[in-house]
């Protein structure tokens, strides 16, 4: 492998400007960002100047014809992922795709097969795995601190998209399922480390437009484990919490304040004092470092240093196309189950 990656970013929206490019600019020993691409050429030019990228264009086909580029980051709206990734892979480019990988399981499976045929690899941006609180929970589960895990629950409420973007792409029928929810679905799979079997979900549309804005999903996994995940655009809050229940205790992740706490009996007065202290210290640290204001945007650095280092050493990413395919299958199963009011089996979608 080369000692440095030549990389291009397709899509210069907020996630690229606030997440991808600031992180990549700190990793000049691993990567050189050679191109930025956006359909709005003025935005592409402005972003290129801001981050000192030597080339910009509105046509990603120019990037595909550049033999020096070996990794392409796709940070465009989700409905465009499948086609752009397909073309990149056909040109022999390794790809990193913003979550979710695609809109349908069929598209995701086609990309995975195409990558194998063209001897390239793909990665998915599930940067929420790199929250300190999530990593603490993962390590605790591996060590057996919670005993045998049998249940996970998560609640994720985000503000309606009009509060943070003028983009229209989220207002398709899937709505909130394809917004923040892919992160919580991925974390459920990653923390439980088990294959999902089937899904039963309810979905709601409480606003005009015909898109889903509320989801409650029950997922059953191998190993007699289950997860209950809920998300919505309706409350106007930002809430992101996960509880992991095991025979030896309960672990709680608060992603907003990046804290992880465990309960082994109780909680008693000592636990309550500990909770207050841990949360207060995390908030103070977050304010002084600025991470509390950046949230998950601060984690792109951790995502890239892990995944790009692995790519340079082993020509694969830590978070793979397999992770992306499974995530999309679960999202589609949740969407379909909500529509038909029946259980949907993951194997049926994966064997399409």
State how far the Cα of 342 lies from the Cα of 5, in Å rounded to an integer.
Answer: 46
Report yes or no: 177 and 334 within 8 Å, Cβ to Cβ: yes
Low-confidence ranges of the chain (pLDDT < 50): none
Distances in whole angstroms, Cα of residue 252 to Cα of each of 155, 156, 258, 291: 12, 14, 10, 20
Q: What is the pLDDT of residue 266?
A: 75
Per cent of the chain over pLDDT 70 is 97
What are all long-range contacts of 272-279, with beta carbons under 8 Å and residues at least 24 apart?
Answer: 279/254
Spatial CA neighbour of 73 closest among 117, 11, 130: 11
Q: What is the pLDDT of residue 164?
A: 66
State how far the Cα of 211 lies from the Cα of 166, in Å rounded to an integer.
Answer: 16
Spatial CA neighbour of 278 closest among 265, 304, 294, 259: 259
State how far the Cα of 338 lies from the Cα of 170, in Å rounded to an integer.
Answer: 18
> 239: which strand partners?
157
| 154: its two tokens | 């998560």
Q: What is the pLDDT of residue 152?
A: 98
How many residues comprise the chain? 352
In a 3-state reduction of DSSP, which class is residue 211?
coil
Backbone phi and psi for residue 110, each to the nearest 5 degrees, phi listed first: -65, -40
| 72: its two tokens | 């392409």
Distances in whole angstroms, Cα of residue 258 to Cα of each of 163, 178, 250, 317: 23, 23, 17, 25
Determine how many CB atoms are found less than 10 A away from the CB of residue 247.
Answer: 10
Full set of structural domains in the chain with CATH: 5-128 (3.40.50.720), 129-298+331-338 (3.30.360.10)
Q: What is the pLDDT of residue 30?
A: 94
Q: What is the pLDDT of residue 296?
A: 86
* pTM of the full structure: 0.94
| 183: its two tokens | 């992160």
Q: What is the largest CA-CA distance in the chain?
A: 64
């Amino acid at each position: 492998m080369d000692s440095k990656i030549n990389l291009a970013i397709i899509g210069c929206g907020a996630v690229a400007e606030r997440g991808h490019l600031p992180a990549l600019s700190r990793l000049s020993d691993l990567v050189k960002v050679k191109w930025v691409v956006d359909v709005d050429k003025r935005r592409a030019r402005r972003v290129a100047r801001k981050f000192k990228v030597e080339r910009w264009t509105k046509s990603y086909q120019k990037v595909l014809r550049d033999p020096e580029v070996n990794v392409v980051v796709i940070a465009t709206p989700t409905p465009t992922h499948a086609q752009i990734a397909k073309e990149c892979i056909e040109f022999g480019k390794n790809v990193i795709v913003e979550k979710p990988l695609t809109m349908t399981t069929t598209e995701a499976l086609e990309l995975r097969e195409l990558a194998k045929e063209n001897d390239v690899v793909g990665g998915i941006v599930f940067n929420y795995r790199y929250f300190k609180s999530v990593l603490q929970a993962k390590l605790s589960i591996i060590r057996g601190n919670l005993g045998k895990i049998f249940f996970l629950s998560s609640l994720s409420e985000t503000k309606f998209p009009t509060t943070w973007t003028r983009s229209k792409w989220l207002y398709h029928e899937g709505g909130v399922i394809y917004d923040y929810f892919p992160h919580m679905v991925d974390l459920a799979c990653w923390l439980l480390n088990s294959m999902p079997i089937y899904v039963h979900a309810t979905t709601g549309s409480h606003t005009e437009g015909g898109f889903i804005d509320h989801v409650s999903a029950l997922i059953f996994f191998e190993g007699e484990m289950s997860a209950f995940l809920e998300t919505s655009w309706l409350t106007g809050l930002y809430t992101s919490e996960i509880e992991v229940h095991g025979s030896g205790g309960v672990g709680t992740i608060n992603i907003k304040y990046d804290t992880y706490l465990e309960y082994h009996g109780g909680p008693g007065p000592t636990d309550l004092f500990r909770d207050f202290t841990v949360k207060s210290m995390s908030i103070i640290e977050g304010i002084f470092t600025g991470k509390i204001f950046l949230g998950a945007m601060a984690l792109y650095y951790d995502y890239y240093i892990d995944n790009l280092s692995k790519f340079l050493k082993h020509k694969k990413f830590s978070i793979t196309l397999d992770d992306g395919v499974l995530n999309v299958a679960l999202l589609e199963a949740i969407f379909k189950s909500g529509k038909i009011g029946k259980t949907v089996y993951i194997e049926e979608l994966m064997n399409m």
